[in-house]
Structure 1
Amino acid sequence: MSPSPLGVPSDAVDVTMPRRDLVLGLAVALATVVSRIPLRAHLLPTWDAVQFALALERYDVVAHRPHPPGYILYVAAARIVDAFVGDATASLVWLSVAASGAAVFFVYRLAWMMYGRLAAAVAAIGLATSPLFWFYGEVGLPYAVEAALTAMVAMLAWPARCGRARAVVVSAVGLGLAGGVRQSLLPLFFPLWATTGWAGMRRLAPLIAGGALMALTTAVWLVPMLHVAGGLRAYLRASAELYDSTVRATTVMAPAGAWLGNARALAEAAVLGLGLLVPVVVWAAARAVRSGFRSREWFLLAWSLPALVVYLWLHFGQYGYLLAVLPALYILIAPVLAGALAAPRIGRRGRVVAGLVLGGIALAHVAFVTGAGPARVPEVAAGAPWLERQLADLTARYRYRLWPHTVRGLREGEAVIAAYTEAIRRHFAPADTVIVVELGNSRSYPWFRHATYYLREFRTCHLRLSPWTPGYLDSARLTSMAAWPDDRIVLEPGVRHLVWMVDFWNPTIPRPPGLRELPLAHGRWLYVLDLDGRPAEHAGYHFVRASRS
């Protein structure tokens, strides 16, 4: 079997890696894991992360422990880790750390099968040093696990493109298991499995056998998940509530232009995921279109396109969603970059320069994710010149959207959570205080889940502000995440303080008379209203006293 100049086997059928490649792939994966360990998170950074931690205590999809569609195998894996670690946050984080290494190895192996050793090394190192991939390998969220699973399914499926019937069956089982970790992977990556199997086999029998095994594998986790959720009807009701409260507003069926928020978030995630290599992805995709797709490009397109269409037109909830297709993008550009490193026409000096440039890009990505600092956002008047306003907007996007996905941004987020919890416990008592958080405040994160997790001895009310449908969640009666459609919030007779746990007061809503501020670290505040037996009104919600019996 004679290799090409880039080390690609000429028949592209043999999938047995030489020991040298196996060692190299494992070494890059191990380096990835080791690099994550000292910088890993110690608190839960997002609403969803808290819900996964709650699921380790009690699994209840209706109560969003975790939220639909259920993630049952992800929670099961975290519980196994938790049996040894004894800490929910640490268990989820260690899963992400381990999954980061697994994803890098799977990418190396798949890129080796498709393009050879040099391209495999480029793809694996590129993914390992991606700022977005690095960040999600440090926190207790399932996106690094998702990257590992999608790369694994693709790695198992690719030999089917070369006519191997066993690969059709094995990858079907892999996809069925991946769906138990994140249910959306099943519909998003079924086209990759089906088109790859058909293109390689041109026979229905392997696909039927693989489909049957996929259905059986799916049933192994789906039936217990529906049972624990209280049956199919309860599961579908909880899923519909999540769609109505979170997803509907981001789809093409929402008011005109709402989906453009998905496009902006997807572009921002691409900047974090690919960094200085964004132009290379654009160039590689354009070259593939111009020269015509071959089997490898069709495979990567079937991997990426369904997910990207869903993210653009339906919902792109977090930057981490991109990790499902980020490995494919690094494999797409790997032969381009490997070709630059091995091109005979540029001579030895040119190849050295190309290597230094690529090494510099990888180091720049690492330096950004581990050391980038915040930026000061200037205050710009509405009548300021257009360019000045655009620069201020870009600075704000970096400061409040991109920078939080760095290690220093993660540390600030953890410090803010600690500052809130310490200040509330120091100044207030659960018996006479109700915490208020907001959804729809453009200047604050909705801290409801963090309050119910880190301050669970306090009652917390989560108010939905415009443009969200009015209603509120109340930790004192939280049987599901469906908002109570009421504007009256009844307070116990002993409640003396309302404490707003918001980053900054909503500038569109008047402050109640007597509201006072308690400054916290990192420029945050607690806003306190001392009731003195009086009712209170805020944003159309009325806090009233319970009648004494």
Structure 2
Amino acid sequence: MRGTAFHDRFVLAVAALFVCLHLAWLPRHLEDIDSINFALGLRHYDVAAHQPHPPGYPVFIALGRACAAIVSPFAPDLASRDAIAMAVLAGLSGACVLLVLYRILRDLRDEPDASNTTSPAVVITTLVTATPLFWVTASRPLSDMPGLAGALTCQWLLLRAARPEASWRGAAMAALGCGVASGLRSQVTWLVVPLLAWVLLRVRRRDDLRTALGVAAAAFVGVLSWAVPMVVLVGGIGAYRAALTSQAGQDFEGVPMLVLQPGLRRLAQALADTFVSGWSWWPLSAAMLVLAAAGVPALRRRATLATWLGLGYGPYLVYHLLFHETETTRYALPLVVPVATLVVVGLARWTPRVAVPAALVACGIALGVSLHAHRQYVGAGANVSEVMGRMESEARQSTVRPQVLMHRRVWAETRRARATLVPNPAFDVLPSPRMQEWQGAVAAWRAGKVPIWWLVDPRRGDRAAIDPRALHVREHVMWPMPVAPLLGGMRPHAFDWYDVTAPQWVLIDGWGLTPELAGIAAAGQKGPSTTGATAVVRGQAGVCTLVIGGRYLAPPAEAPAPTLAVRIGETDLPPVTLSPGAFAHTWTLPAGTIGPTGYAPLTVRATTTPAGAANERVFLEQFDVQPAGVPVIALEAGWYEPERDVATGRQWRWVGDESRVRIAGASGDVRLVIAGTYPRHYERAPVLEIIASGQRIASLTLTRPFAVEQRITAQQLGAEGRLKWRVSPSFVAGERTGSADARRLAIEITTLRADAIR
């Protein structure tokens, strides 16, 4: 950088410190499908094999290979070499962004600032440096930061070429750079092409059409410089087109884009992902967005700056909101530049006396968040390569080869990592049938294969298909705050690692213990009235307790009442006639009913005599079977159907102001574990009273959320084991929503468990 002014030296120092800190905290892991694809591309370039994924990133791969050659002597293994090389490239690119951004802002000092200092340029550059999204992305082994560096460099060249005194050679050089930079990352085109078109118009007016066409040809030559070798390496235009079409299909399949799912709610989520998540801490993001909004009207006096922001980032913002999966936070990286610029412009326009101190305070706060997030990113151990390494280590130490079950999302998002990082694993991956993944382990359980590990998508609702007593969390694989929102969209981003030890039962088809299971049963037209609800039950030599519950929706008056018929192996249990509404029935199974070993099939059918259609309205929402001495819970009157938040995976049941619970199968005292929450509109904390045999045995004042335990003696339970709950306050759902919902609701229950006290 030319000149020796204090501000120039300060920005150089900021960029140097930025690089040093990023080189000191280098990640040694490949943490995303994209980073793994890039690493494979560094070793052998083949776009058709997604090494890397289309459109190909040839310029980025070339730079990455140069860095890999430099860092190779210092890397312990190939994966670490690739991660370090790309992270070094990202850190150096971040410093390049800062230096070029400062030059752009210096050059854009127009009318109101012609005689002013370069303080705004310094403050904007410093704020961009401290922004959490910018800071953390500069340490990730991905193409985002090199792409932004290339885009800003081209923008600087284009702005210089747009000056009245500039020559056509400068414009041609800028256009050539735009063509080459688009080989870093395809999104670069949205950051440079609008400015390039603007420059072409100015060249046309300043010189002539022939010169403008020559400048445009320079951009085309820049694209050809990387496109021709890439297509040749892939195997021709046909092979490249096939790879690109495949990637486009994956991009549009199941990805929540605003263009595919238009609506105000989706737009609001996209805006939040774009402008809030990148600051990692909502008070900081709120302050920055307010200041940025105040900077928009201040652009009226900054024509050249407004042109740069409008043409340089406006088209990208529209493209990002419409066509990107905005949950992937790093896609919003280029928009850090206009937001930081508007923040400082707004402060300088409306509060000039405190503009610099206020901006520096914001920089300090943002830098604190960034450093914390950076440390977490490097050392949290939550990325896929580290988890795969721990799984491999655990498997090699096990005396029995583990069987690994995965939710489909986790299976798909770890497939590349597994093939790359553990090509010869010490564990076996079980089949993952779509939307019925848990069934992939039934054959293994029946064959007695243990241990079984289950990698669970925490937003899914099918864990209830397996005996919860057999599920033991080994590890919650997730990023902590504040780094988590900065890594939004990472694949895989979060999953839970469970040990599943010989479940007492596994549901197969036709059940509705959760909304997801009910939806799967409905989609497959399976249930107690058609194919029958099916399960497998682990063999027990002794007495067992079985509970089945659900809901029988009111039929036409003339329809006969259905009968619930349960068959275990070759044994038919006494049938039960259902009445309209909720039901919960228990059976005490004599010794030998299930069989001493293995897993016996269980079928539940709802039948009518004569055959009718009323049984089509039977839904099974409760199931448990345990050996004698292990308490099971039957939810009776006052409990409503299961509900689920599809965004978070949280599941609950509403309970009314009065309800009944039965605890069966206990041989002594039990500990009742209750967790949940209640509505915010309550003016006081609700009180839960538990009544047994007509006497109140507990009165619990609940917090929000709450988790309470209550010991219940065998004497209090009595022979029937029935408890009555009373909760106050409560409300009628329809009165809050303006609907016809007449349910009287009190609290949400997320966990209800009865444990035997030995």
Higher-Rg member (1/2): 2
1:252–1:259: 8 Å Cα contact kept in structure 2? yes
What is the Cα deviation at residue 439 of structure 1?
4.4
Q: CA deviation at 1:111?
A: 0.4
Which of 7, 19, 36 aligns to 2:4? It is: 19
Distance (Å, rounded) in 1 between the aligned partners of 2:203 and 2:178:
18
One-letter amino acid matched to 1:109: R
Shift of 1:369: 1.7
Contact 1:136 1:143 in 2 (8 A): yes
Write the distance in 2 (CA, Å) between the matches of 1:430 and 1:215: 61
More off after superposition, 157-166 vs 296-305: 157-166
2: distance between equivalents of 1:515 and 1:226?
A: 53
Aligned equivalent of 1:219: 224
Matches within 5 A, 1:463-542: 465=434, 499-502=453-456, 504=458, 506-508=460-462, 510-511=464-465, 517=472, 519-520=474-475, 525-528=496-499
* Between structures 1 and 2, the one with greater helix share: 1
Letter in 2 for 1:231: G
Matched, 1:282 2:282: no
- 1:422 aligned onto 2:390: yes
What's the offset of the Cα at 1:340?
6.9
Match of 2:417 in 1: 450
Q: Is 1:205 the equivalent of 2:210?
A: yes
Aligned pair 1:49/2:35, yes or no?
A: yes
1:246 aligns with 2:254: no
Q: How much has 1:171 moved relative to structure 2?
A: 1.3
Tell me the residue number matched to 1:375: none
The answer for the alignment partner of 1:183 in structure 2 is 186
Match of 1:112 among 84, 87, 106: 106
Residue-by-residue CA offset, 1:10-54 (whole Å, 9 max, x unaligned):
xxxxxx953325434322221221232223322122221122112
Determine if contact 2:200/2:216 at 8 Å carries over to the other structure.
Answer: no
Q: How does 1:317-332 map to 2 (within 5 A)?
A: 318-332=328-342
> Structure 1 CA distance, aligned partners of 2:122 and 2:171?
26
Q: Are the aligned partners of 2:127 and 2:340 in contact in 1 as well (CA < 8 Å)? A: yes
- The amino acid of 2:135's aligned partner reads W
By how many angstroms is 1:193 displaced? 1.2
Secondary structure of 1:250's partner? coil
**Residue matched to 2:127:** 126
* Separation in 1, partners of 2:156, 2:431: 44
Shift of 1:365: 0.3
Residue of structure 2 aligned with 1:313, choices 322, 325, 336: 322
Deviation at 1:240, TM superposition (A): 2.1
In structure 2, do the counterparts of structure 1 residues 111 and 460 end up closer, same or farther at CA, with 3 Å as the change threshold? farther
TM-score by length of 2: 0.54
Post-superposition offset of 1:105: 0.2
Name the TM-score, length of structure 1 as normaliser. Answer: 0.72
**Contact 1:147-1:326 within 8 A present in 2 as well:** no
Answer whether contact 1:96 1:142 (CA < 8 A) is retained: yes
Cα 1:188–1:56 change in 2 (3 A) is same
Shift of the 293–108 alpha-carbon distance from structure 1 to 2, 3 Å rule, reads: closer
Q: What is the rounded CA distance, in whole Å, between the counterparts of 2:338 and 2:500 in structure 1?
A: 52
- 1:192 is displaced (CA, Å) by 1.4
Q: Judging changes above 3 Å, is the alpha-carbon distance between structure 1 residues 250 and 226 closer, same or farther for their aligned structure 2 residues? A: farther
SS of the residue aligned with 2:31?
coil
Could you tell me how far apart the structure 1 residues matched to 2:147 and 2:170 are?
A: 20
| Kept after mapping to 1: 8 A contact 2:292/2:339 | yes
Residue type of the alignment partner of 2:68: D
The residue that corresponds to 2:725 in the other structure is none
> By how many angstroms is 1:413 displaced?
4.5
Letter of the structure 2 residue corresponding to residue 507 of structure 1: G
Q: Which residue of 2 aligns with 1:479?
A: none
Give, in whole Å, the separation in 1 of the partners of 2:368 and 2:210: 51
- Pair 496,356 (structure 1): closer, same or farther in 2 beyond 3 Å: same
Q: Which residue of 2 aligns with 1:3?
A: none
In structure 1, what is the Cα distance between the partners aligned to 2:4 and 2:125?
A: 17
Decide whether aligned partners of structure 1 residues 355 and 457 sit closer, same or farther in structure 2, where only a CA change above 3 A counts: same
User: Bigger shift: 448-457 or 407-416?
Assistant: 407-416
- How far 1:359 sits from its partner (Å)? 1.8
Paired residues of 2:403 and 2:451 also in contact (CA < 8 A):
yes
Q: 1:431 to 1:214 in 2, by over 3 A?
A: farther
Say if 1:235 and 1:445 are closer, same or farther in 2 by CA, change over 3 A. closer
CA distance in 1, matches of 2:316, 2:498: 41
Matched with 1:302 is: 311
Contact kept? 1:62, 1:234, Cα under 8 Å: yes
**Preserved contact between residue 175 and residue 216 of structure 2 (Cα < 8 Å):** yes
Taking a change above 3 Å as real, the CA distance of residues 167 and 414 of structure 1, as seen in their structure-2 partners, is: farther
Distance in 2 of aligned mates of 1:61 and 1:446: 19
Counterparts of 1:359 and 1:337 in 2: how far apart (Å)?
11
CA distance in 1, matches of 2:408, 2:209: 50
The equivalent residue for 1:59 is 45
**Correspondence 1:93-112 to 2 at 5 A:** 93-112=87-106
Closer, same or farther in 2 for the Cα pair 1:83/1:490, shift >3 Å?
A: farther
Aligned partners of 2:231 and 2:448: how far apart in 1? 41
Letter in 2 for 1:325: L
Three-state SS of the structure 2 residue aligned to 1:355 is helix
CA, structure 1 residues 526+335, in 2 after alignment: closer, same or farther (shift >3 Å)? closer
Q: Cα–Cα, structure 1 residues 300 and 253, in superposed 2: closer, same or farther, change >3 Å?
A: closer
Residue 229 of structure 1: CA displacement?
2.1
Letter in 1 for 2:170: A
- Unaligned 5+ runs, structure 2: 73-80, 110-116, 479-494, 510-516, 525-758
Q: Name the SS of the counterpart of 1:500 in structure 2.
A: strand
Q: Partner residue of 1:148?
A: 149
Q: Which is strand-richer, 1 or 2? A: 2
1:152 Cα offset (Å) = 0.7
Q: 2:370 matched to which residue of 1?
A: 369
Instruction: Give per-residue Cα distances to partners, 1:497-540, cap 9 Å, x unaligned.
Output: 65433464832355457965461376875335689xxx998999
Equivalent AA in structure 2 for residue 166 of structure 1: R
1:79 aligns with 2:65: yes
Deviation string 1:243-293 (CA, Å, 9 cap, x unpaired) is 2223353344524549535344223345459844222221112333xx477
Any conservation in 1 of the 2:68–2:82 contact (CA below 8 Å)?
yes
Alpha-carbon distance between aligned partners in 2 of 1:537 and 1:246, rounded to the nearest angstrom: 32
Residue identity in the other structure for 1:216: V
Residue 327 of structure 1 and its aligned partner are, at CA, apart by: 2.3
The offset of 1:339, in angstroms, is 5.5
- Asked whether the equivalents of residues 106 and 118 of structure 2 are also in contact (C-alpha less than 8 Å), the reply is yes
Q: CA deviation at 1:177?
A: 1.4
In structure 2, the partner of 1:438 is 407
Equivalent residues, number: 459
> Which has the bigger relative contact order, CA under 8 A and spacing at least 6?
1
CA RMSD for the aligned pairs?
Answer: 3.9
Whether the 8 Å contact between 1:151 and 1:327 is mirrored in structure 2 is: no
8 Å CA contact 1:162, 1:200 repeated in 2 = no
Give 1:310 shift: 0.9
Structure 1 unaligned blocks of 5 or more: 1-15, 344-350, 372-404, 472-486, 542-549
User: C-alpha separation between the residues in 1 aligned to 2:43 and 2:60?
Assistant: 14
